[in-house]
Amino acid sequence: MTEATLIQPDELMPHAKRAASIVEELDRILLGRHELHRLVVTGILARGHILLEGVPGLGKTALAKALGDILSLELKRVQFTPDLMPGDILGTNILQESDGGGARRLVFQQGPVFANILLADEINRASPKTQSALLEAMQERAVTLLGITRPLPDPFFVMASQNPIEFEGTYPLPEAQIDRFLFKLQVSNVDVDVLDEIISTRRRGEAPAPRARVTHAELQQIFATVDRIYLPKAVSRYIARLVAATHPDGPEHTEHVAKYVSLGASPRAAIALAEAGRAEALLSGRPTVGFDDVRRVAHAVLDHRFILGYRGRVDGITTKQIVDDLLASIDETGVRLPEGVSV
């Protein structure tokens, strides 16, 4: 896309306002988490999968269900447990007799993955084998069984909730699966004022129904508008250098990366930053991705995409601190800034 084909403001704004109304409706239904809701909607508009992490009882499942209601999308929920099998998610072939009797044939019974939104509740309570069953679905938007590939509904998203890994009965997600999540978002406790409002206005904690819903056609129009958001060369170069700087053996790395990181982010991270930047620009009502759009989504995209080494774990370093260092060390032209200088 060139600057000559930029989407015009009068064409952009109706879709930007419709997208912003999704955030507003989530804020009305679920109280006290505006920034989380904005990031979740940004991830959906970028057509990515979202991993929500937090202790039980913080409303992660309620958030996914509310989003499905607002977007008029079919949502199916799977409670991940240690005995869950891949076929319980993907589906299986069942031997059935024909109506007239006699001949038998294999009939495919769809699993819950055949929905617009698969809510994978407590995904890290299932075994690695079962978690890995989602790899093809998350990347290819399809399921292959016995050599037959079946496409999933359009759109298709995985929204997964995860308990902190130190909780009893949890398994770490495979790195290949974590990398397929566009965003990993932390769900934290709300403050006293929000708790007071919840118990005063929400009997038994039940959230109200949506007042307005986005139709399938409207959602597809918003997706098409996101695709027309312009990514300038300077911003794409900034994204590329940010991702390259996560690799300790690369020429772009910072001192903190060299010291604490064992494995950097994949090219999928750069793609995710670009697409999330487009969605963030749309929500802000702008036809062009800016550096601030990239910085707003950088933690959600990058924090879960590289692995700390032994020294980082011993020193108590977090991936969030590494990303903060990267954002402060590389300026908008891609030139590393002197120590102590930030943008």
Regarding whether 78 and 201 lie in a shared domain, the answer is yes
Assigned token pair, 209:
């129904």
Check residue 274 and give its pLDDT.
97
Question: What Rg do the C-alpha atoms of the chain give, in angstroms?
Answer: 22
Q: Does 326 reside within a domain?
A: yes
Regarding whether 206 and 241 lie in a shared domain, the answer is no
- For every residue of 110-157, DSSP letters joined together read E-TTSSSEEEEETGGGS-HHHHHTTHHHHHHSEEEETTEEEEPPSS-E
Q: How many structural domains is the chain composed of?
A: 2
Which residue, of 228, 249, 282, is where some domain finishes? 228
Q: What is the DSSP letter of 335?
A: P
Instruction: Give the span between the Cα atoms of 172 and 127, in whole angstroms.
Output: 9
Q: Does 23 reside within a domain?
A: no
Which residue, of 228, 259, 293, is where some domain finishes? 228
Instruction: Give 10-residue mean pLDDT values along the chain (343 residues).
Output: 65 93 93 92 96 86 92 94 91 78 78 94 87 89 89 94 72 85 91 86 81 92 94 94 90 84 91 97 94 96 90 87 90 55 39
Regarding whether 223 and 273 lie in a shared domain, the answer is no
Check residue 340 and give its pLDDT.
45
Q: Does 2 reside within a domain?
A: no
CATH number where 51 lies: 3.40.50.300
Q: Does 55 reside within a domain?
A: yes
Q: Does 7 reside within a domain?
A: no
Number of H helices, E strands in the chain: 15, 11
Check residue 113 and give its pLDDT.
94
Assigned token pair, 120:
């994978």
**pTM listed for this prediction:** 0.89
Assigned token pair, 43:
């991830």
Regarding whether 169 and 37 lie in a shared domain, the answer is yes
Check residue 317 and give its pLDDT.
87
Burial of 322 (0-12, 13-18, 19+ CB in 10 A): buried
Regarding whether 48 and 189 lie in a shared domain, the answer is yes
Nearest Cα to Cα of residue 209 among 34, 62, 19, 335: 62
Regarding whether 294 and 275 lie in a shared domain, the answer is yes
CATH number where 320 lies: 1.10.8.80
Regarding whether 224 and 267 lie in a shared domain, the answer is no
Q: How many CA atoms lie within 13 A of 13 on its CB side?
A: 3
Check residue 167 and give its pLDDT.
63
Which structural domain range is residue 171 located in? 30-95+104-228
Contact (CB, 8 A) for 161 and 202:
no
Which residue, of 184, 206, 228, is where some domain finishes? 228
Regarding whether 298 and 223 lie in a shared domain, the answer is no
- For every residue of 11-71, DSSP letters joined together read HHHHHHHHHHHHHHHHHHHSTT-HHHHHHHHHHHHTT-EEEEE--TTSSHHHHHHHHHHHT
Check residue 207 and give its pLDDT.
81
Regarding whether 313 and 220 lie in a shared domain, the answer is no
Buried b vs exposed e over 257-274: b needs ≥16 C-beta within 10 Å? beebbeebbbebbbbbbb
